[in-house]
Amino acid sequence: MSTATPQRHATVLNKVPEITVYFWIIKILCTSVGESFADYINETLGFGLGNTTILFALALAASLAAQSRTRRYTPWAYWLTVVLVSVEGTLLTDNLTDGRRVPLWISSTVFSALLATVFAAWYARERTLSIHAINTRSREGWYWLTVLVTFSLGTALGDWSVELTGWSPGASVLLPLALTAATLVAWKAGANAVLTFWIAYILTRPLGANIGDYLASDRSEGGLGLGTLWPSLAFLAAILLVVVYLSATKIDRIEKADTHTANEDILIPEKV
C-alpha cells in the first residue's frame, strides 16, 4: 500500500458531521435499528440469515456509492449509510455466531485484531487518524471500513457480555451504559479524543442493541414484548426527524476540515 501524503489525494469538503449530542442520539438509534430490523427481516419475515446479509450488503453498497458522490457532509446520505452499516455489521457477527457456530470470544478477538490492523493501515497511509478531517476519498474509505468493523466488534462484545452475565434484557443495558459514561468522563478529563471517540462508538453499539432487545423481548424474558417491527419503525422515524432538523439547521456541519495533527486528533504522535 502506498504511503503517499494526504495532500496528493483528491480533496473534498469534510464528509462527516461535527460530534455533537445529536450525533450520539442518532448513533444509538441507528444501532437499535441495526439489531431490531435485522431480526425482523431475518426471523419474522423468514428471509434467513444468508439472504438478509446479501440484501443489506447490496443496499449498503448503493448507499456508499451515493455517499461517495457527495462533495461534503450530507445528513441523509451519511446517516442512511450508518443505518445500513449497523445492520450489515450486526449480520456479519450473527453469521459467525449463528451460521458458523464461532464462539463469541473468538469473534471479539478477531474483530479487535482487525480493528487494530485497520487503524495501523489508516495511519500508515494518512499519517493521521483525525475524525475531523475526512476530506479525501482515501480517508473516507478508511473511515467507513472502521465504522463497519466497530459495529461487528460491538455486536460480538455485547452478545458475549450478555452470555457471560446471563442478565435480563433490561439489566443488560446497564453495563454498556456505564462503560459509555466512563468513556465520557475520561474524555472530559483530557483523554485522547480519537481514542475515546472510537471506544464510545464501539460501546454505543451494544447499548443501542440491548435497548432494542429490551423493547422486543417477551415479557416472560424480562422485556417489554413490543416485537421487532414497531421499535424499528419508531427508531427510523426518530432518526428521520433528527436528520431533517440537522439538514435544516446545519448545526453539525464542519465548514472547514481541521488539518492540524495535534495529539488530540491522532492515536499515534506525528513524530515517533
Question: Mean pLDDT across the chain, nearest whole number?
Answer: 87
> Could you read off the pLDDT of 65-102 as tens digits, one per residue?
999 999 899 999 999 999 999 999 999 999 999 889 99
Examine the pLDDT at 155 and tell me if it is beyond 70. yes
Return the pLDDT at 255. Answer: 65
User: DSSP character for 268?
Assistant: S
Query: What confidence score (pLDDT) does residue 22 get?
Result: 96
Could you give the CA distance from residue 72 to residue 151 in angstroms, rounded to a whole number? Answer: 24
What's the mean pLDDT in 159-165? 92
Residue 256 has pLDDT above 60, yes or no: no
Please report the pLDDT score of residue 135 as a whole number.
Answer: 86
Its pTM stands at 0.86
What pLDDT score does 45 carry? 86
